[in-house]
Amino acid sequence: MDDFLALGQILEDALGIDRDEIQEDKKLREDLGADSVDLFQIYVAMEEEYGIELDTDETDHVSTIGDLMQIIRDYA
Nearest to 19 by CA among 69, 70, 67, 65: 65
Q: Do residues 26 and 32 make contact, with C-beta atoms less than 8 angstroms apart?
A: yes
pLDDT at 66 over 90: yes
Higher pLDDT, 4 or 62: 62
Work out the pLDDT band at 1, boundaries 50, 70, 90. Answer: low
28-40, pLDDT tens digit by residue? 999 999 999 999 9
Task: Give the number of residues written for the chain.
Answer: 76
Tell me the domains of the chain and their CATH numbers: 3-75 (1.10.1200.10)
**Region 16-23: what's the mean pLDDT?**
92
Going through 1-76 in order, the beta strands assigned E by DSSP cover: none
Is the full-model pTM beyond 0.85? yes
Q: Is the pLDDT of residue 69 over 90?
A: yes
